[in-house]
């Protein structure tokens, strides 16, 4: 009965998003590689892309260090709240919590790593930070709004031929 209801309801928002990403990635011979959803997904995805053994905690620390070093550039864009009311507190949360990273952290990582970062999304044109950096292969990520019910999520994007990097899920149109 439940399977019948699901079939009649059509594809989920998650599946629609995955299909849209697959339609972008497949012609480029790229695929998504799933990253755990634990608040560290951005940093885990970047660490996986670097392939140099750095942990997500090292990537978080690098991000926080860049935010501190370039406070004038980044502080106007930090989302401050009652709980995180100063830029120093914001940086501490980046360094020491499992708070999600977003665009500000992507920009800081781009600068710290001196590598371009490409983010594929089902609902927006791909975001490219640092097209002309010349610092090696770009860091490729996918951004999801509907991957998990908890909210936003990042996965890494790898070459479709790079079978060793694919740990859980290849995005294919129509997979359910």
Is residue 169 predicted with pLDDT exceeding 50? no
Give percent above pLDDT 90 in the chain.
67
Tell me which of 40, 41, 63, 144 is the catalytic residue: 41
Structure tokens at 103: 């665009």
Report all structural domains of the chain as residue ranges with CATH numbers, in order of start.
Answer: 2-165 (3.90.70.80)
Q: What single DSSP character describes residue 49?
A: H
- Global pTM reads 0.83
Tell me which of 40, 110, 144, 153 is the catalytic residue: 153
**Residue 41 designated active-site:** yes
Task: Pick left, alpha or beta for residue 69 (phi over 0 → left; psi -120 to 50 → alpha; otherwise beta).
Answer: alpha
**Residue 92 designated active-site:** no
Higher pLDDT pick, 7 / 77: 77
Distance, CA of 76 to CA of 73 (rounded, Å)? 7
Tell me which of 38, 137, 162, 175 is the catalytic residue: 38
Distance, CA of 13 to CA of 114 (rounded, Å)? 35
Grouping H, G, I as helix, E, B as strand and the rest as coil, residue 147 is strand
Residue in this structure with the two tokens 């950096």, named with its chain if needed? 133
**Residue 153 designated active-site:** yes
Is residue 130 predicted with pLDDT exceeding 50? yes
Residue 108: CB partners within 8 Å, gap ≥ 6? Answer: 63, 66, 67, 70, 74
Structure tokens at 73: 């550039």
């Amino acid at each position: 009965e439940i399977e019948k209801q699901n079939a009649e309801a059509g594809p989920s928002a998650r599946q629609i998003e995955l299909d849209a990403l697959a339609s972008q990635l497949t012609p480029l011979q790229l695929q998504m590689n799933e990253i755990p959803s634990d608040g560290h997904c951005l940093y885990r995805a970047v660490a996986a892309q670097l392939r140099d053994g750095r942990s997500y905690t090292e990537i978080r620390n690098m991000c926080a260090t860049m935010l501190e070093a370039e406070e004038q550039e980044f502080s106007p864009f930090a989302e401050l709240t009652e709980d995180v009311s100063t830029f120093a507190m914001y940086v501490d949360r980046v360094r020491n919590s499992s708070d999600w990273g977003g665009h500000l952290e992507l920009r800081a990582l781009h600068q710290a790593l001196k590598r371009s970062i490409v983010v594929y999304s089902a609902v927006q044109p791909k975001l490219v930070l640092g097209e002309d950096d010349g610092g090696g292969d770009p860091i490729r990520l996918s951004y999801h709004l509907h991957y998990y019910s908890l909210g936003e999520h990042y996965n890494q994007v790898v070459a479709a031929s790079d079978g060793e990097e694919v740990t859980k899920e290849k995005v294919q149109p129509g997979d359910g």
